A = this chain, B = another copy of it.
Amino acid sequence: MDYQSIINEIAQEVAPFLKDGKVADYIPALASVNPEQFAMSITMFDGTEYHAGDSETLFSIQSISKVFTFTLALKFYGKALYKRVGYEPSGNPFNSLVQLEYEQGKPRNAFINAGAINVTDALVNYYGSTETASQEILKFIRSIAEDDTVKSNQSVAASEMQYGHRNMALANLMKSFNNLDNEVKDVVKVYFKHCSIEMNTNMLSRSMLYLANHGVDPITEKTYISESKAKRINAVMLTCGHYDASGDFAYNVGLPGKSGVGGGIVAVVPKLMGICVWAPGLNSNGNSLVGTMALKLFTNKTGLSIF
């Protein structure tokens, strides 16, 4: 299939809608991003790449980092991770706190904020310190992206911390249920650090290959995680990757994917490719408006849904 033409087409078709989304504005660093940017990248198993738009422009990966921390935690803890965090869809945006209280401080899944903070806590335990945890998470991302320049934006991380009262609320609530081992503030700092990592669609589509290929990077042949765990991560991306619009994404796109409030969305076509789109304007569910649109067009045009 002529993927280059397809993504060029998509780039044209979505252009008129770039102005419709609303850039995340809860911290100044994100609020100042120009909303009229767009990029789409595909990386094939043989390393072939297709790009459209600003595919070299770095953006804040935000919740896409949850895919990477979940990978590491599932690798190290396996089934034991389930004692801390589930893998069911959460139902509602407001559920963050509501459901967390009903369910005694155990987050529904690793892709809502509470779950990712909890997974971060598990990684701090595993690595023995917050510094090592931050370093190793970054090291892992550099490895799967095959790019050593990837780094966290410290001023974004500091800003997240300053305005991060809701995440502090989630972490404190888990702590009150004895489902957080380290100091609340320390864990949240590590969490915000990896949320503030900056990458471009090029790097991110590349970084999805280990999931598309069931745990093994098809180019470097490095094994990052077992086949069965890789499939499970894809399953959680499908059922829980887009908060309260996960059903919509499954329904309309039909691929495992994960979005971030920076406007990025990664997706996986099993046994075929990694994908990343980026457009900073968000829809009312907090997912990239044009990014979601582009992926719908992509699976419509290619028929590459998993269903």
Q: Mark A204-247, 1 if CB is under 8 A from B, else 0.
A: 00000000000000000000000010111011101110001111
Residue of B91, B231, B236, B240 touching A92 (CB-CB under 8 A): B91
Q: Which residues of B contact A238 (CB under 8 A)?
A: 238-239, 250, 307
Closest chain B residue, CB of each to CB of A253:
B235
Contact B236 A87 (CB under 8 A): no
In chain A between 56 and 108, which residues have their CB closer than 8 angstroms to a CB of chain B? 86-92, 94-99, 101-102, 108
* CA–CA, A304 and B13, complex, Å: 35
Closest chain B residue, CB of each to CB of A268:
B307
* CA–CA, A232 and B250, complex, Å: 8
Q: Which residues of B contact A251 (CB under 8 A)?
A: 87, 232, 235-236, 239
Residue of B168, B239, B305 touching A246 (CB-CB under 8 A): B239
Main secondary structure on chain A at its contact with chain B? helix
Closest chain B residue, CB of each to CB of A166:
B176
Q: How far is the CB of A148 from chain B (nearest CB, A)?
A: 30
Closest chain B residue, CB of each to CB of A96:
B101
**Interface check A306, CB cutoff 8 A:** yes
Excluding A88-B89, A98-B101, A169-B170, 8 further A-B contacts by CB distance (< 8 Å) are: A97-B97, A97-B101, A165-B172, A230-B307, A232-B251, A240-B247, A256-B307, A270-B307
Q: Which residues of B contact A98 (CB under 8 A)?
A: 97-98, 101-102
**Interface check A109, CB cutoff 8 A:** yes
* CA–CA, A251 and B235, complex, Å: 5
**Interface check A139, CB cutoff 8 A:** no
Q: How far is the CB of A179 from chain B (nearest CB, A)?
A: 11
**Interface check A254, CB cutoff 8 A:** yes
In chain A between 163 and 186, which residues have their CB closer than 8 angstroms to a CB of chain B? 165-166, 168-170, 172-173, 175-176, 184
Q: Which residues of B contact A306 (CB under 8 A)?
A: 270, 306-307
